[in-house]
A and B are shown apart, each in its own frame.
Chain A
Amino acid sequence: MKSDRFDELMRNRARQEKITVRHETDLLFQNAMKRARVEAARQPEPIREKSSRKAWAIVAAECIAAECIAAAVLLLWAPVCDVTRQSAVQRQTSHTVAMKPVTQGVINKSPSVRFDMVYLQNTVTLEGRFENLVDDDTWLVQCEAMLDQPEQMKPLEYVIMLEPGAECVHQMVWENVDTQQAKVSWRYTAYRVTADMLYWLDGEVLSPTDEDYLDQQLLMQDAFETQALILEAGDWSNGMAGPVRVLLPDQYIDEHAELSVVEYCVQNGLLEDGSQLCSGEDTAICTKLQ
C-alpha cells in the first residue's frame, strides 16, 4: 500500500528528529507539577455520594440551561425575522430556519444553518451560514435555491461539508436581475457521513475525452467497492468546511439515473439522512437597494 510506505517513512523521520521542549516551557511545566502535587496533598479523597450529587446538580443545571436556550430562541427568533424583513439595511432578511432543536431539555447534536438575503443594485445574494459546532461527526448539507421560480428548484451540484467544529459562509448569487423585487426560495437537508472511509479524488474530475479518464474511473470504482465515500476536494479557505462534490463512478450513475448521487449514497449506507435534525425551507422577497 502506498500510504503504508509513506507513513512508515514519516514515522522513521519522526523517530530521528530531535525536538526539545524549551527551557522556559520546562520551568512552567515543573511549576505546574509542583502546584499539582501541593493541591493533591491537600485534596481529600473523593466521596462517591458527593460526586453523585454533583453529577445530578450538573444534569439539573444543564436541563435548566437548555430550557433557557429554548426560551431565548422562541423569544428572539420571530422579532428578528420580522424586523429585518421590514428594515432597509443592507442585510434585508434574516432567517434562522434551523435553530438547534431542543427536545426534552437536551440540545440535539446537529449542524445549524442560517440564510440571509440581500438585493443590491442588480445582484441578488443568498448567504448561507453553516456550523457544525456541537457534533463529533462530519455532515454534508445539500442546498437548493431558485430565483423567482421555486417550482424549478433543484439541488446544487455540490454539498457543503462540515467537519466537527467547522463553520463556513457560502453565497449563491444571481446577477443582472432587473426587477424591483426579487423572490428567492431555498431548501436544505443535512446528511451525516457514516462511511468508514473517505476517498478524496486527486485532482479534477476527468471527462471521458480526457487522457487518464479510465484510470480515474477505476480508482473511483475501487474506492466505491470498499464502501468509501468519494469526494472531490474543494477549494476551501479555512480547510475544514466548504462546498465539495460527492462523486460516484460514471458506471453507477448511468445504472441508477433515477437517483441522485446523494440518494444513492444514503441507500448504500455511506450517508445517513439527517433531515429530522437539520432541514428547512423558506422563501423571501426583497426590494432592490441602489
Chain B
Amino acid sequence: MERALLDEQLWILRDSMLRVAISILHHRQNAEDAVSNAILQAYRKRDSLRNDDALKSWLLRITANCCYDLVRKDKRERGYAEGLQPGVQMFDYQENTLFDMLTRLPLPLMQVLNLYYYENYSTAEIADILGLSGATVRMRMTRGRKLLKQMLQEGEEADEIRSF
C-alpha cells in the first residue's frame, strides 16, 4: 500500500481505531499507547495488505491486537483490574448519546456493539477483528442489546423503544 494513502486513511479512521482501543482498554493512556503502536505496526506491515478495500478491518484488527498485548502486559505487571480506569476522555460527546450509553456497558459488550453500530460490521467480521468466536460475539450482542434496551427504557426514550 502507498504510504500517502495509508497516511490519509489513518487520519480518516483514527476515531474508529480509538473507539476500538477504548472499548477494549477503557483507559485513556493505554488506549493512546495502543493506537500509537497500531500506527507503527500498520506502517511496518503495510506491504502485507493485498486488498486496499480491507484496510479498515485490517487496521482495526491491528489495533485490537495491540490492545490485547497491552492487557497481557498490564496483567503481568499490575493485574488487569488495577489497570482499568473509568473515563473515555479522548472524545467529545454528549450525555445520553448511544456512545455515552455504550461506555457504561461492561467492556466486552461495548467492544462488539461499538463495531456493530458505529462501524457497521457483521458479527462474523467483528469476530475476525476481535479474534473471538462467532458464538461469543453473538452472545455479547444479545446481552449488550438487552442492557441497552434497559438503559433506554430507564431514560427518557421509552416511547421510542416501547415496541421492542
* Interface of A toward B, CB cutoff 8 Å: 2-3, 5-7, 9-11, 13-14, 17-22, 25-26, 28-29, 31-33, 35-37, 39-40, 43, 45-46, 136-138, 163-165, 193-200, 202, 233, 238-240
Interface residues of B in 105-134 (CB under 8 A from A): 106, 108-109, 113, 116-118, 120, 131-134
Q: Is B135 an interface residue (CB 8 A)?
A: yes
Choice from A21, A31, A32, A233 contacting B91 with Cβ under 8 Å: A21
- Is B98 touching A37 in the complex (CB atoms < 8 A)? no
For B40, what are the chain A residues with a Cβ–Cβ distance below 8 Å? 32, 35-36, 39
What is the CA–CA distance of A249 and B107 in the complex, to the nearest angstrom? 32
Choice from A2, A22, A39, A233 contacting B164 with Cβ under 8 Å: A2
For A39, what are the chain B residues with a Cβ–Cβ distance below 8 Å? 40, 43-44
Of all A-B residue pairs in the complex, the 9 with the closest CB atoms, nearest first, are A239-B106, A32-B36, A40-B43, A198-B139, A36-B43, A14-B117, A25-B90, A19-B93, A32-B39
For A239, what are the chain B residues with a Cβ–Cβ distance below 8 Å? 106, 108-109
Closest residue of B by beta carbon distance from A46 = B47
Closest residue of B by beta carbon distance from A236 = B106
For A21, what are the chain B residues with a Cβ–Cβ distance below 8 Å? 14-15, 18, 90-92
- Minimum CB–CB distance from A11 to chain B (whole Å) comes to 5
What is the CA–CA distance of A164 and B127 in the complex, to the nearest angstrom? 12
- Is A3 touching B32 in the complex (CB atoms < 8 A)? no
Choice from B10, B98, B160, B164 contacting A14 with Cβ under 8 Å: B98
- Minimum CB–CB distance from B142 to chain A (whole Å) comes to 6
Q: Is B99 an interface residue (CB 8 A)?
A: yes
Q: Is B138 an interface residue (CB 8 A)?
A: yes
CB<8 Å pairs between A and B, sample of 14:
A10-B117, A13-B98, A14-B98, A14-B99, A21-B91, A25-B90, A31-B36, A136-B131, A137-B133, A137-B136, A138-B139, A164-B136, A197-B138, A200-B139
- Is A136 touching B133 in the complex (CB atoms < 8 A)? yes
Q: Is B78 an interface residue (CB 8 A)?
A: no
- Is B117 touching A33 in the complex (CB atoms < 8 A)? no
Q: Is B73 an interface residue (CB 8 A)?
A: no
What is the CA–CA distance of A21 and B44 in the complex, to the nearest angstrom? 25
- Is B138 touching A198 in the complex (CB atoms < 8 A)? yes
Q: A198-B138, A198-B142 are in contact. Are A7 and B117 (CB under 8 A)?
A: yes
For B94, what are the chain A residues with a Cβ–Cβ distance below 8 Å? 17-18
Q: Is B35 an interface residue (CB 8 A)?
A: yes
- Is A9 touching B160 in the complex (CB atoms < 8 A)? yes
For B140, what are the chain A residues with a Cβ–Cβ distance below 8 Å? 163
What is the CA–CA distance of A152 and B145 in the complex, to the nearest angstrom? 41
Q: A32-B39, A138-B135, A196-B134 known; 7 other A-B pairs, CB under 8 Å?
A: A5-B164, A6-B161, A19-B93, A20-B93, A29-B18, A197-B135, A197-B138
- Is A193 touching B143 in the complex (CB atoms < 8 A)? no
For A6, what are the chain B residues with a Cβ–Cβ distance below 8 Å? 145, 149, 161, 164
What is the CA–CA distance of A3 and B142 in the complex, to the nearest angstrom? 9
- Is B132 touching A17 in the complex (CB atoms < 8 A)? no
For B163, what are the chain A residues with a Cβ–Cβ distance below 8 Å? 5
- Minimum CB–CB distance from B27 to chain A (whole Å) comes to 13
Closest residue of B by beta carbon distance from A35 = B40
Q: Is B97 an interface residue (CB 8 A)?
A: yes
Q: Is B60 an interface residue (CB 8 A)?
A: no
For A11, what are the chain B residues with a Cβ–Cβ distance below 8 Å? 117, 120
Choice from B35, B133, B161 contacting A32 with Cβ under 8 Å: B35
Q: Is B50 an interface residue (CB 8 A)?
A: no
- Is B142 touching A200 in the complex (CB atoms < 8 A)? yes
- Is B135 touching A198 in the complex (CB atoms < 8 A)? yes
- Is A17 touching B97 in the complex (CB atoms < 8 A)? yes
Q: Is B148 an interface residue (CB 8 A)?
A: yes
What is the CA–CA distance of A43 and B90 in the complex, to the nearest angstrom? 31
